[in-house]
Amino acid sequence: MRDPLSVRLGGLASNLARIKSFSDNPMHQHIVEDLINESKYFIEWTAPDAELDIQSELIELQLQLARWHNRWEVIWPDPVQRALMAQQVYMWSQKLLKLSGLLR
């Protein structure tokens, strides 16, 4: 919470990249589930300090994380759905990294 917004967005992007990475192994189910929950908290702590356009992106991401979490028992055992989730979470990671401004 003490880090600048850009660093917090970068940390969230890193968390999402870890979700993608750990999703490759079916044995990492609980790790990925914990990272999803942690990411939802990161958004809650970060969004109030962000500009409106970034807030809307964070809310959209939080809703997507909640949808994945609600369908977790269906998504995780299915390699196709798990891979789709991993691809989507990677795209979110890249988007947040750009929004953070840390790539400049």
In angstroms, the CA 98 to CA 9 distance is 9
Architecture of domain 5-98: Up-down Bundle (1.20)
Q: What percent of the chain has pLDDT over 90?
A: 93
Average pLDDT over residues 16-32: 97
Average pLDDT over residues 42-49: 93
**pTM over cut 0.85:** yes
Alpha helices in 23-104 (DSSP H): 29-46, 52-70, 72-75, 79-100
- pLDDT of 25 reads 96
Cβ atoms of 92 and 73 closer than 8 Å: no
Cβ atoms of 6 and 101 closer than 8 Å: yes
* Mean pLDDT for the chain overall: 95
Amino acid at 47: A
Q: Which residue has the tokens 């949808």?
A: 67
Residue 3's pLDDT band, with cuts at 50, 70 and 90, is confident
- pLDDT of 1 reads 64
Domain ranges for the chain: 5-98
